[in-house]
Structure formats: structure tokens, C-alpha cells
Amino acid sequence: MCGICGIVYADRTRPADGRVVERMCGAIAHRGPDDQGLCVCGPAALGARRLSIIDLAGGRQPIHNEDDSIWIVLNGEIYNYPELTRSLAGRGHRFYTHSDTEAILHAYEEFGDDCVQRLNGMFAFAVWDSKRGRLFAARDRLGIKPLYYARHDGALLFGSELKAILAYPGFERRVDPAALNEYLSFEYVPTPRSIFQGIQKLPPGHALEYADGHVRVWQYWDVDLARSEGRRPQPLAEAEAELLEMLRESVRKEMISDVPIGVLLSGGIDSSAVAALVAEAAPGRVQTFSIAFDDPSFDESRYARLAADHLKTEHRELKLTPERMIELVPRIPEFLDEPLGDSSIVPTYLVSQFTRQHVKVALGGDGGDELFGGYSTFQAHRLMDYYERIVPAFARARIAPLIAGRMPVSFDNISLDFKVKRFVAGGGFPPVERHHRWLGSFTPEQKRQLLRPEAQAVDHDTYEIAWAHLDRCNARELDNQLLYCDMKLYLEGGMLPKVDRASMANSLEVRVPLLNHTLVEYVAGLPREFKLRGLTTKYILRRALRGIVPAEILKRGKKGFNMPVAKWLIGPLRPLAEEMLSAPRLNKEGYFDPAYVRSLMDEHLAGRRDNRKLLWTLLMFELWHERWM
């Protein structure tokens, strides 16, 4: 696991400056504290920061081929590299390391751009081919590892994080109005945009070529959910057995390491499944890590302990006090160089910090909700079908919002009034738009009040990116279309960057076996009724794990890794929020209307409305803006 960066000038007579790449490397040193490597090859320079996981002694990057004409830097892990290495050695390739990085390099020599099709792993890598004068870069199929790029000063710049590109001398920092517009609604900036004008993210499952001053990007993989539609019915018991074997195989692949590994155990179905299968593969030596909260409506530590006791793991638990969590909030932009409105970044960072004290690598349960339809929004869509058929239109438009608005406000985790109000507010919209209104923060109507005219993106539909993904989806059933959008948006834009930045800020590698592409492809082909049956989410997963994961965990509903933000904003976070969202600050920046922001704050403080998502989204942007602009 590493951080990578580099420069390639279009003018082949212009030598790259290694000192600039060293500066770019320095900006992402936290991603790889064990080593730094650099190569300067005429107009190209590649840099890497290394967190040593595979081939501790010999895997120093950048890595070159036999005649030094091709160089590579890699961020990630290739789980099938031993098999790939043996195959390539049999074809005559000579290896000087035992690393997964070198396996990609020789695969590129042998198969060209199609080398990515032979990789099983999480990765973002860049290859400089000096003979052909081209840079070839690629990102893994699901977008587990990040890759940013920009064209500037006659060059292509790239890096694992925005801050690597921002370290290039003279790079101008300007907020992209369209990206800001999307951030406010989605709580993250969807790919391919970044918050900065001129910097883009390479989409998951895509590759990039830079040659002769031209950038070409193409897709090499996509998830195929249409296979699940209209297929011959398969016995459920047979599918359960197949799924369990696929889960075992994914976990086994991702346990490859030359250092000890652990498991992040929240007590939910997904992380408990990963922990159980790791314990099955390596009995008696599994370390698990979890956190506990003081607030009982947010605390899930009992379930993590239940799973750990059942699996007989070496379990460690960190008790988080409100003071410790709130102390972290102002420092979030130090490791988060793009605004992210997900408050669970706080516990994710702290559990990563805690875990890193004991291991360098941890497996997590991320991705299960996107694979198996685990979010409560899927249940809500089904209920909305009944609601819109049974309740007359005038009642949905007038009476229901009135009743919901009069419900007492509770600041507990996923409280009843919070769910009812968001459900009612989603009525009357197309399912894909409704889905993101439920998941996200500001609606288009609210943004018209929030954004000043000069900050509003011209001719930009908030949900344009969601509609674009829907157009690319080859499935026709609504559940499948929503799963596809979740993989392309919420998973890749919000969930995976949160885990990557929080863990890498602590030099911890987190692997996500539920997103191994072989498992993803298998689950994508399962009938939708195996995933969501009635209102039961993750139906087949719950059944496949019977006897492996405690029954009490399998029967649980989705809780989420949430924070008591609503309570913090009227308590210990209030001074920070008042300062960052003050009228003088907002007037100086020119993005948001201070009067509207003040009204949101006053409503929340008075307990008239739960504005936690809106206020947290704004607070995270303001903290980011102060640090990076």
C-alpha cells in the first residue's frame, strides 16, 4: 500500500524536475511512512511513498523492467500476484523482486493495456513507457483506491490525493461551482469531478493514456446487473451454498500479507461475516477491533463483543468519549483534502488510529449494503409504492407533510420523526431522484435559498450525474438500477474515500473483501428477490451465514455508523459551528446566504427542526475551505 504521484510533460525535450515530485510525495507521506522512491526519466518523473506489506525487503518503488525502459508506481494490493508472477516467469520475464508491483509491470509488457483484466485487487497505478513516450494509468474496478489527475503547465499531473497535485508549483486553487453544487446534495463530490477546477478523478474500472499532450480515458470493466433479470430460477439453498463459498474465497484471497492482519468489527452483518471467515481460515490468531460510544442510541459495541466472543477472536475495544471525537472535528481537513459530509469519518479515523497501534493491515465489511441492497432506502422505496397507491394525492401533498411537521423532534440516532419526515419529503419524485434526496443533504429547493447567484452552477441539474449512471445501467428492474447507482455514487464517492483517507492518514491498509470483483460479479447475477425479499434486506446473505454469525446479529436491521451530530451542534460543537458559519465569514467567501444559514442554525438550536445533515455538510465545507483555500 502506497501513495503515488508524478509528472509527465508533453514536450519530450523538457526534463521533469525530481525535486517537484519529492514535494508532491511529501504531501502524501502519511500514505507510506516506510520509504520514498523516485525515478526521473526524461520528461516523466514518478514518485511513491511506501507502506511495506508485500516483499518488505525488496519491493521498493518505482520498479523497472529488465532494460529500465518501463517504470511503475502502485497504490494498492494485487491479490493474485503469485499466480501472475509464475505465469509471466514461464513466458520468459525476469523478476528482481517478489512484489505485486513488478507483476503488473511485466503483465503490461506482455499484454499491453489489457493487463488490467488479469488483476485481482484494489489498485491505482501508473506506468511510464519511455520507448512509446506514453503514460498508462488504471484504477481498480470498484474504485477502492483513488487516482486524481490534472493538465497543467504543459504536463499531466497525477496523485493518490488532491494534495499531491496541489503541491505542484503555481497550481491555482479554484472551487468548481458544479462540484460544490453536487457536494451540497450528495455530501461528496461525485466522480469524475473534484472540488477543484481542473482536477479530475479517474473513474473506477477505467484506464488512462497520456501521449503527445493528449489524454484518453476508457472503461475496461462495469458491473452487469442485467444478468440477474429473466434468468432461470435457481434453488435458494443452492445459491446460498455458492455464495458462502464465494465469500470464503474472497476473504482468503485478501488475507495475503507479509505482516499481521486484523479485522474491523462493528457488530453489523457484513463485518461479522468477514471476521467469521477470517477466523475460519486462520483459527486462533485473529485480532478484531471495534469502538464504543457513550450515547446508547449510537452504541453498537455489544454486538461487536457478541461476534468476537462467538468467534473467539483476540478482541480490542476503544471507548470513545464525546470530548475525544469533538477534538478531532477541526482537524478533519488535515487528512481530508476534499469536503466530505459523512460524520462517520470521525469514528472511522479513530478506529483506524487505534487499530494501527497493533496491525498494519485490516479487513473491513464495506460494500455489503451496495451488493445486497442493505440500506433502508430500499425498504422505503417499496413502502412508497404502497403509500402512493393507497393515500390520495391531496393527502400526500397537504395532510401528510402537516402531520410529519408536527411530530416532536428527536436528536437520537435515526429517530422516528427523522425517518418519517424524510420519507414524506421524497414523495412525488422519480425513484432515482427520491433515492438521493433520502440519502443526501440539501435538496435543489433548499440550495436555491442557500447559494448566492454567483455560486450557483449554470444549467446544472443536481441529479444529472445520477441520471447519467442510470442511462449506462443495463438493468431494467428498479432495485437493480438503484444498486448500480449506489455502487457508482455513494459507495465510490462517499464510502470508499472515507475509509481510504481515514485509514491512510494513520498508515493503515484497509481491505474490503466484499468488493473483490469476482464476488461482485457473482452477486450481481443473483435474482433481486434473493437480496430484498419483501422488506427483508440482504436476504440470501443472512441465510448463507446461519450458524457462522450469531443469530442475534443476523436478525438485526441496518443501524449505520452514525454520530450524535444533532446533539453536538447544540452542545460542545456549537462554538465551532457559530464561528465557521458566521455572517462575516460567509459574506467574505461569497458562496452561501448568511440569513438562510442562520435560520437553519436557529431552527436546530430551538429544537424546531433537526438540521443536522445540512449544518454538518456546511461545517465540513467551511473547515475544508479554511484549510485548503
Active site residues: 2
Give how far the C-alpha of residue 206 lies from the chain's centroid of Cα atoms, to the nearest Å.
16
Tell me the pairing of strands 287-293 and 261-264: parallel
- Please state, as a whole number, how many other Cβ atoms lie within 10 Å of the Cβ of residue 229: 14
What's the half-sphere exposure (Cβ side, CA atoms, 13 Å) at 518?
19
- Phi-psi region for residue 577, left (φ > 0), alpha (ψ -120 to 50) or beta? alpha
In terms of phi and psi (left: phi > 0; alpha: psi -120 to 50; beta: otherwise), the region of 230 is: left
Three-class SS of 596-621:
HHHHHHHHHHCCCCCCHHHHHHHHHH
Which residues are CB-contacts of 140 (< 8 A; sequence separation ≥ 6)?
A: 76, 119, 121, 122, 123, 124, 204, 205, 517
Question: Which triple of cell numbers denotes residue 368?
Answer: 455489503
Query: What distance in Å separates the CA atoms of residue 72 and residue 135, rounded to the nearest whole number?
Result: 10
Q: Which amino acid is at 336?
A: L
8 A C-beta contact, residue 373 and residue 532 = yes
Distance CA 279, CA 273 (A): 10
Q: What are phi and psi of 459, to 5 degrees?
A: 50, 40
